[in-house]
Amino acid sequence: MQIWVKYFGAPIANLGPKATGFKLPPNTTILQLLHLIGEGMKEKEKKLLAMTSCMVNGSHVGKHYVLEDGDEVYILYPVSGG
């Protein structure tokens, strides 16, 4: 199946291009996708990736959400401030 991933928020935006296509096997979860994206990253970048939240097709989903062909995944770095 084919999915598209977009990264939002600094420093996550620096981890990859604005949109990346992935060919994945059926029944791949968000958690498995994050592990795939994290391959080859430095440990610090992997920790940042682990802190993200995700949306699929505009809806917030958990890390065990099963992806479907054509899904658009948004990886969001947590925002804080005060």
Q: Where are the beta strands (DSSP E) in the chain?
A: 2-8, 19-23, 53-56, 59-61, 72-76
**pLDDT tens sequence across 8-43:** 876 665 666 567 899 999 999 999 999 998 888 888
User: For residues 24 and 52, what is the distance between their CA atoms, to the nearest angstrom?
Assistant: 20
Q: Into which CATH architecture does domain 2-76 fall?
A: Roll (3.10)
Reported pTM: 0.85
Q: How is the chain split into domains, by residue range?
A: 2-76
User: For residues 46 and 59, what is the distance between their CA atoms, to the nearest angstrom?
Assistant: 24
Residue 29 DSSP label: B
